[in-house]
Amino acid sequence: MSSPAAATGTAGEAAVLAVADLRVDIALRHSTVHAVDGISFDLAPGERLGLVGESGCGKSTLGLALAGLLPSTARVSGSIRLGGKELVGAAERELRRIRGRDVGVVFQDPMTSLNPTKRIGVQVGEALRLHDGATAGEARDRAREMLELVGLPRPGEQLDRYPHELSGGMRQRVVIACALICRPTLLVADEPTTALDVTIQSQILDLFDRLRDELGMAILLVTHDMGVVAGHTDRILVMYGGREAELGPTRAVFAQPRHRYSEGLLASVIRIGAPRGTPLASIGGRPPDLAAPPAGCGFAARCAHADAACRDVAPQARVDVAPQARVDVAPQARVDVAPQARVDVAPQARVDVAHRWRCHHPASYAGDAPLVRDASSTLVEP
C-alpha cells in the first residue's frame, strides 16, 4: 500500500481539482482489483496534466473516477474535490449534474461516444438543454459556435449530419464539442488520439491547447505514449501498477526522470542525435497483477536496479533537496507529510514540491538531448 503524498503539488488552495489518497477497488467474482492505489495530486485552473503509464496501470479507472463514471462494482475511498465539492460518496444525481457540466470527457473511440441515430447538432447541444435549461434554438446556436471553435469546416451544415457521415478526426472534434459546450472546469481526455492517424493526432492535441487558452479549463490527458505528452502538458503523473511512480513538471521528468519506470518509458522515445538505426529500448515483462499487488515496489520484477529492499518495502514519496538550496513555500501552499515520513531540510535548502517520486534507487540521469515525437516512438501495447 502506498501512503499519502509527501506534497500535493503546486496548485494549493486555488486548485480546480484536489485528489487525495484515492483508491479504487473493483470487485471480481473471486478477487479484487486494486486499480487505483493511493493517488494524490492537485490541478490548477488551466493546467494540463499528462497521466502516463502502460496499459493496465489504472489510468482509465482514475479518469473514470474523476468523471463519476465508475462501474457499480467499484469501491472508492479517499477524496476527489472538484471546485470544492466532494465527489467520493456523492449521490448519483449529483454526479450526473457534475458530469457534462463541470467535467467534460473525451474517450479514445469517438464512435462509442456519439449516438449514431442522432444528428450532430442535437448531440452537441444536449448537455446545454439538460444542465442549463437552454431551448432547442439556443442549444442549436451554441452547438454551431462550438463546432466552429473546434475547427469543423462549415459548422452550420454539419448540425444536420449524422456521425457516420464524418471522418474519424472530425467525429473526435464533435465529441470534444460535446464535452466542452457547458464550459467545464476540467476536461478528462482518455487516449483521445490513439485511434487517429499521426497528422490528425497532432491537430487534436493542438486543438486542446487552443481550447485550454480560450476556455481556461484544466486538462487531464491520459495516454500510454510519452511522446504525446511531451509538447502538450505542463506536468506529468507517471502511474505504475495503480500507484504513483513520479509526478513532476513535464520538462523536469523528461530531463531528469527519477523513477526507474519513467526512465524506461523515456528510453522508448527516440532522442534527437541518436545514431541512425539505434534500436528503441523497450521494457521487458508486464505490469503487475493488480488483484495481487507485490508487497514492495511494483516495478521490481522488471527493474535492473531492484534489490531486496525494493522487493520488500514499497518506496515512500521523495523530493530532492539540493544542499544549500532555499525552501520557498507559496502562500496558501499545503505540504502533507505521510505518516512516519521524515523530511530533513538542510539550512537554506529549496524544496521543489512539484517533483516527487517513489523509488529506492532513483535515476540521476540528466538528459542533454531533447526528445522528439516520432511515428515509431510509441510504446507497444501488450
Ligand X SMILES: Nc1ncnc2c1ncn2[C@@H]1O[C@H](COP(=O)(O)OP(=O)(O)O)[C@@H](O)[C@H]1O
Nearer to Mg ion, 143 or 205 (CB): 205
**CA pair distance 275, 66, nearest whole angstrom:** 42
Count of residues that interact with ligand X, criterion CB under 6 A: 14
The binder of ligand X chosen from 80, 143, 290, 297 (CB under 6 A): 290
Per CB under 6 A, which region of 28-36, 41-49, 101-109, 117-125 contacts ligand X? 28-36
Nearer to ligand SF4 by Cβ, of 188 and 265: the residue is 265
Q: Which of residues 226-255 bind ligand X (CB under 6 A)?
A: none
Q: How far apart are CA 371 and CA 255, in angstroms?
A: 9
CB of 244 to ligand SF4, least distance (A): 12
Rounded-to-integer distance, Cα 76 and Cα 346, Å = 38
What is the full DSSP assignment across 246-296? EEEEHHHHHHS--SHHHHHHHHTS-BTTPPTTPPPP---S-PPPTTS--SS
Q: Measured from the CB of residue 262, what is the shortest distance to ligand SF4 in angstroms?
A: 9
Q: How far is the CB of 123 from ligand X (least distance, A)?
A: 25
**What DSSP assignment string belongs to 32-53?**
EEEEEEEEEEEE-TT-EEEEE-
**Binding site residues, ligand SF4, CB under 6 A:** 259-261, 297, 299-300, 303, 305-306, 310, 315, 359-361
Q: Shortest approach of ligand X to residue 1 CB, angstroms?
A: 16
Using CB distances below 5 to 8 A depending on partner kind, what does residue 57 bind out of ligand SF4, ligand X, Mg ion, none?
ligand X
Q: Does 60 bind Mg ion (CB under 5 A)?
A: yes
What angle do the packed helices 120-132 and 168-180 form, to 10 degrees? 10
Q: Cβ closer to ligand SF4: 159 or 303?
A: 303
Instruction: Please choose, out of 38-46, 53-61, 84-92, 342-350, the segment that lies near Mg ion by the rule CB under 5 A.
Output: 53-61
Query: What SS3 state is found at 332?
Result: coil
The answer to whether 178 touches 123, Cβ cutoff 8 Å, is yes
Give the pairing of strands 218-223 and 186-190: parallel
- Residue 207 has φ and ψ, to the nearest 5°, of -60, -40
Residues at the site binding ligand X, with contacts judged by CB under 6 A:
26, 28, 33, 35, 53, 55-61, 71, 290
Residues that bind Mg ion (CB under 5 A): 60
